[in-house]
Amino acid sequence: MKLTETRSLFPEEKGIEKVSYSITLSEDEQLISKTIHQLVDEKILPYMDQLEDHDYTLQKKRMKEVGQLGLMGAEVPEKYGGLEAGKRMSGIIAEKMGYAASFSVAFNIHSGVGTLPYVYFGNENQKNQYLPKLASGEWVGAYALTEPNAGSDALASKTTAKWNEEKQVWTLNGEKQWITNAHIANVYVVFANTEQGITAFIVERKFKGVSIGPEEKKLGIKGSSTATLILEDVELDSAQVLGEIGKGHYIALNILNLARLKIAFSNIGMSKQALELAIKYGNERQQFGRNIVEFGLIQEKIANMATAIYKSECTAYYTASLLDQHLIDNGKDNFITLLARYSMDCSINKVLASESLDMIVDEALQIHGGYGYMQEYEVERLYRDARINRLFEGTSEINRLTIAKSFLKQYNQDKLNKEIELEQNVYIRYGKLLLNKMLKTVTSGDDEVNQIYQGVIADSVMDVYVMITAEINSDHSEVTKQMAQIILEENLQRILERTKRIIVALVEDELVQQKYLDEIEELIIPNYINIYEAKENIAKSLIRKGGYYV
C-alpha cells in the first residue's frame, strides 16, 4: 500500500492528512479472498436451487459455516468473538461474497445492519448477550426499519412502542415490511415510535407476539428470505432498548451509511463475476468463424465494463481506508460521531457501484446474446439479482439528494477555491473549477435548490470523487493508467456539459450567461489520448487473463 496525501473533497473537514490506500490486496487479504472463493464455489453456488426454494435449514447451516470461518464478525471486537478487522477487510469480504448470488444479501444484512447496531450502540450486557452468537453464525440478525408507508421516508414509522409504568414494559405494535432474513433471523433491530421519538429495540424471534408473514415473490435475490415482521403486543423490558430512547434515528441513519459502503463492495464482486462470465462466453462463442471477443464492439463493451469496475473499486477502497484511518486516529468510541462526515462518501459509493453493476450485467447478458436470456445461463440470474441494489438501503434518488445536501452544507466557494489552487492534476483541477461554477450558479438565489439541480450537483461531485480516487491508484499497472486517463477525460467532459446546461437554465441575464459560457470555453484542456486504442488495449489484456485483473 502506498501512503498518499488525502485527496477527498473535504480534507480539512475529515481531519486526515495522509491515508494508506491501494486496491492491491496484501498476502493476508489474498488468503481470505481465496478462502471465500472456495467456500462460494463449493458450498453456495452448487446449492442455489435449494436456497432459492427457501430451504431455511440449509441457509442457516451455511450461515453458521461462514461464521465458523470468522467472516460474520469481521467488524465485531475480538472480545466478543469477532475479527475487529476494519472497514477495508469487511469490504474485501463483502466483495468476495458478492459472487454468492442472493446468499450474499443474507450475509451482508446479517454482518452489517444486523450486527453493527450492537457494536456501536449496544451496552456491555447487550454486546455480551448478542455479539458472540451473531459473530459465530449461531444466530442470524436482521434489521427492521421499512414499513408499508415508510419507504424512502424511512423514519415515518407507524410502529409504536408504549411504556407501561405499572408493568415496567414496552409494548410494541406494528408491521415492518420487506425484512431481509425475516424467516431465518433469531433477533431483529426494530425501530418504533415512542413519545420521545423513534427508538431502537432488540426483539428476539421467540418473544410472544412476534410472527413472520409469507415470503415475498421477488424479481431476483430469491435465495434470501424477505417477509413482513409482525409485532402484536410484544412486551419488552428496558434491557431491550438499544441506544438512547428517542434517538433511534441516529442509529438508523449512521448504520445505513455503513450499509451503503458494504453494498458497494458486494456490487463490485458481482460486477467482476459478470465480466468473467462475459469473457468466458465470448472466448467460447464463435460467429463468422471467429471468437466474438475478437470483434471491436465486444471489446469496447469489455473495456467499458472493466473501467466501471475500476471506478467503483477505487472509490470503495479509498472510502474504507479513510474510515479505517479515523478508527485508528480517534478510536471506536468517537467513530460514530465522526461518521456523519462520511454520509456523502458512502452514498457516492452506493450509487456508483449499484448503477455500474446494472450496466455491467446488462452488457454481460448482451454479449451472451439470446442465450443470456435463458435461465440455464448464470448471467440471467445475475441480471435479475442486480436490480434490487438501486432500491434498498436508500434508492439512487435518495442517495443523490444525500450527496448534494451534504456537499451544499459543507462547501462554499472559498473552500473549493483552496482545493483548486492546491490541485496538481489538471483534469481534477478543472473538474473542481467547473463544480465551483455550478455551485455559484445554483446557490445564487434565496430559494432552496431544486431537486433536479441537486441531482446534477450530485452527479458532478461523484465524477470528481471518482477522478480523485482513480488518479491516486493509476500507477499500479499499464491497464490502470489507461483506465484512469479514460475516467479523467470522460468525467471532465460530463461535468463540462452539465455546467453549461446549469448556466443556461439558471442565469437569466443573457450577457452574464454568455460571459460564464465564454470562461468555460477558454479552459485549456490537455490533449486527449486515443481513447479507442486505450479501450482496445484494456479489453485485450483482460481477455488474455480471463477476467478483471488490473
Single-letter amino acid code for the residue at 448: E
Phi, psi dihedral angles at 283 (to 5 degrees): -80, -20
DSSP per-residue string spanning 470-527: HHHTGGG-HHHHHHHHHHHHHHHHHHHHHHHHHHHHH---HHHHHHHHHHHHT--PPP
The total of other beta-carbon atoms located within 10 Å of residue 293's CB is 22
Positive/negative CA dihedral, 70, 73, 77, 81: negative
Question: Are the C-beta atoms of 458 and 400 separated by less than 8 Å?
Answer: yes
Paired sense of beta strands 197-204 and 187-194, if any: antiparallel
Task: Determine the Cα–Cα distance for residues 376 and 371; give it in Å rounded to an integer.
Answer: 8
Task: Determine the Cα–Cα distance for residues 313 and 153; give it in Å rounded to an integer.
Answer: 29
Joined together, the cell numbers standing for residue 487 give 475516467
CA 26 to chain centre: 22
Q: What is the Rg, in whole angstroms, of the alpha carbon atoms belonging to the chain?
A: 24
Task: Determine the Cα–Cα distance for residues 175 and 170; give it in Å rounded to an integer.
Answer: 16
Joined together, the cell numbers standing for residue 96 give 468476495
- Output helix, strand, coil percentages for the chain, rounded to the nearest 5: 65, 10, 25
Q: Which residues pair with 164 in a beta bridge?
A: 169
Joined together, the cell numbers standing for residue 527 give 490533449
CB-based contacts of 360, cutoff 8 Å, min separation 6: 271, 274, 275, 305, 308, 309
Q: Active site residue: 363, 393, 471, 489, which one?
A: 393
Joined together, the cell numbers standing for residue 283 give 472466448
Collapsing DSSP to helix, strand or coil, 221 comes out as coil
**C-alpha dihedral (327, 331, 337, 338), degrees to nearest 10:** -30
Is 13 annotated in the active site? Answer: no
> Where in the sequence numbering do the catalytic residues fall?
393
